[in-house]
C-alpha cells in the first residue's frame, strides 16, 4: 500500500494487537507492572478494565509474552461467553489435557485438579488470562470462582487475570457474585491517552514499523487525531491509517491536518469538535480524495 512511499517495513497502524508496537505510556505500563507484581505475589484474582479500543488485548498478550515459561504456564481464553462446562473444557485444553468425548462434570474437574497439582510439583504457577470477561455468563463466573478453590496447603493452584470493558464492573457488582468480587485483590482501569501521549503513540508506531525521518504527522495533524479520537488507541490507528492513505494518494511526504479531517469524515461515528473545523468544507469521503490523488499520479505517468 503506502509502505514504500513513506519508507516503512510494514503497516504501522493495523488493528491487530501486535506486542511489537506496545508503548510504555503510563497507563499501560502501570497496568503491566501491577499484573506482574500480583502474579509474583501469588494473588488470586486481578481485574483490568478499559473502554473499547484502549488496548486490553494488546496488554494481555504483552503479559503472556513477559511470563517466564520456566516458572509459569499460561492459559488464555479470548472468548469466554461459554457455559460452565465448556469453559472448564477450554481451560483443560489450555493446560495441555486431551479430552475424551463426553468427558465432563466431576471426571473433568478431577483431571484439571491433577494437572494443576502436577504443574505445582514442577514449580510452575498456572495463570489463566480471560479476555472480554464482561461477556461471561454469571453462572460461568461463579463456576470459575469455585474452580479457584483448588489449592494446596500453602498456595492457590492457579491465578486469574480478567480483562474486560466497564460492563465487567457492573456484572461483578451483582449481589450474587459478591464472593468472587471479594477475591479480586488488585484492579486497574486503563485510561485513554492525552494529547502528548497521542503524539508519542504515533511516533512510536511509525518508528517500530521502520520509519526514520522528520515527523510524519505535523503538529497540527497530531492534535486533530487526538481531538477526534479522544486518545483511544484503536481510533488513533484508524484515523492515522486513513490519513496516511490520503497523503499517499496526493503524493505527499507528510500528513497535514486536511488529511486527518478527510479521515474523520470517512469514519462513521466520529466528528471533530466545533472549534477544530475549518470554515472551508473539506471532502466528505476519503475514498474520493484518495482516488483523485491516484488518478493524478496515473495521468502524470508517475509510478506508484
Q: What is the percent of the chain where pLDDT is above 70?
A: 88
3-state secondary structure of 105: helix
Domain presence at residue 280: yes
Strands 45-49 and 125-130: unpaired
How many CB atoms lie under 10 A from the CB of residue 291? 12
Confidence of residue 287 (pLDDT cuts 50, 70, 90): low
H runs (alpha helix) in 83-218? 84-94, 105-121, 138-147, 167-172, 178-182, 195-208
Confidence of residue 302 (pLDDT cuts 50, 70, 90): very low
Do 271 and 209 fall within a single domain? yes
For 71-106, give one letter per residue: b (16+ CB within 10 A) or e.
ebbbbbbeebebebeebbbbbbebbebeeeeeeeee
Cβ pair 12, 127 in contact under 8 A: no
Per-residue model confidence as pLDDT tens digits over 113-160: 999 999 999 999 999 999 999 999 999 999 999 998 887 767 789 999
Q: Can you tell me the mean pLDDT for 38-56?
A: 92
Do 152 and 268 fall within a single domain? no
Do 176 and 54 fall within a single domain? yes
Q: Phi and psi (nearest 5°) for 69?
A: -65, -20
* Mean pLDDT over the full length of the chain: 88
pLDDT for 299 equals 40
Q: Can you tell me the mean pLDDT for 186-201?
A: 95
Do 159 and 261 fall within a single domain? no
Q: Can you tell me the mean pLDDT for 212-221?
A: 94
Q: Which residue range forms the structural domain that includes residue 294?
A: 193-300
Do 234 and 153 fall within a single domain? no
Do 98 and 197 fall within a single domain? no
Dihedral sign for Cα atoms in the order 177, 136, 186, 95: positive
pTM of the model: 0.85
Among 46-60, 150-164, 187-201, the range scoring the smallest mean pLDDT is 150-164
| Cα gap 128→133, rounded to integer Å | 12
Domain presence at residue 7: no
Number of domains in the chain: 2
pLDDT for 295 equals 47
Q: The CATH number of the domain where 97 resides is what? A: 3.40.50.300
Give the residue from 149, 166, 189 where a domain finishes: 189
pLDDT for 101 equals 79
Q: Phi and psi (nearest 5°) for 73?
A: -120, 120
| Cα gap 254→220, rounded to integer Å | 12
Q: Phi and psi (nearest 5°) for 44?
A: -70, -60
Per-residue model confidence as pLDDT tens digits over 234-249: 999 999 999 999 999 9
Give the residue from 166, 189, 212 where a domain finishes: 189
Give the residue from 162, 189, 216 where a domain finishes: 189
Do 127 and 167 fall within a single domain? yes
Q: The CATH number of the domain where 282 resides is what? A: 1.10.8
| Cα gap 29→155, rounded to integer Å | 27
Domain presence at residue 14: no
3-state secondary structure of 129: strand
pLDDT at 26 over 80: yes
Do 199 and 179 fall within a single domain? no
Amino acid at each position: 500500500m503506502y509502505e514504500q512511499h513513506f519508507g516503512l517495513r510494514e503497516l504501522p497502524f493495523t488493528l491487530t494487537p501486535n506486542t511489537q508496537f506496545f508503548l510504555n505510556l503510563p497507563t499501560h505500563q502501570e497496568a503491566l507492572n501491577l499484573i506482574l507484581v500480583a502474579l509474583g505475589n501469588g494473588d488470586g484474582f486481578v481485574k483490568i478494565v478499559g473502554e473499547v479500543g484502549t488496548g486490553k488485548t494488546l496488554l494481555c498478550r504483552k503479559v503472556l509474552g513477559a511470563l517466564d515459561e520456566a516458572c509459569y504456564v499460561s492459559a488464555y481464553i479470548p472468548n469466554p461467553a461459554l457455559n460452565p462446562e465448556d469453559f472448564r473444557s477450554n481451560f483443560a485444553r489450555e493446560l495441555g489435557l486431551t479430552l475424551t468425548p463426553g468427558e465432563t462434570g466431576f471426571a473433568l474437574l478431577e483431571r484439571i485438579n491433577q494437572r494443576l497439582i502436577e504443574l505445582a510439583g514442577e514449580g510452575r504457577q498456572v495463570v489463566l488470562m480471560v479476555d472480554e470477561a464482561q461477556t461471561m455468563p454469571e453462572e460461568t463466573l461463579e463456576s470459575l470462582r469455585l474452580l479457584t478453590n483448588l489449592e494446596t496447603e500453602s498456595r492457590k493452584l492457579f491465578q486469574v487475570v480478567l480483562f474486560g470493558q466497564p460492563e465487567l464492573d457492573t456484572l461483578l457488582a451483582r449481589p450474587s457474585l459478591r464472593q468472587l468480587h471479594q477475591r479480586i485483590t488488585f484492579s486497574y482501569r486503563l485510561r485513554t491517552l492525552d494529547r502528548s501521549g497521542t503524539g508519542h503513540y504515533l511516533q512510536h508506531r511509525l518508528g517500530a514499523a521502520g520509519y526514520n525521518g522528520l515527523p510524519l504527522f505535523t503538529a497540527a495533524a497530531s492534535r486533530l487525531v487526538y481531538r477526534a479520537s479522544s486518545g483511544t488507541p484503536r481510533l488513533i490507528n484508524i484515523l492515522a491509517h486513513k490519513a496516511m492513505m490520503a497523503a499517499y494518494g496526493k503524493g505527499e511526504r507528510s500528513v497535514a491536518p486536511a488529511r486527518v479531517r478527510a479521515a474523520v469524515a470517512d469514519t462513521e461515528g466520529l466528528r471533530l469538535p466545533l472549534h477544530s473545523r475549518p470554515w472551508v468544507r473539506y471532502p466528505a469521503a476519503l475514498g474520493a480524495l484518495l482516488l483523485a490523488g491516484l488518478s493524478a499520479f496515473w495521468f502524470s505517468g508517475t509510478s506508484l
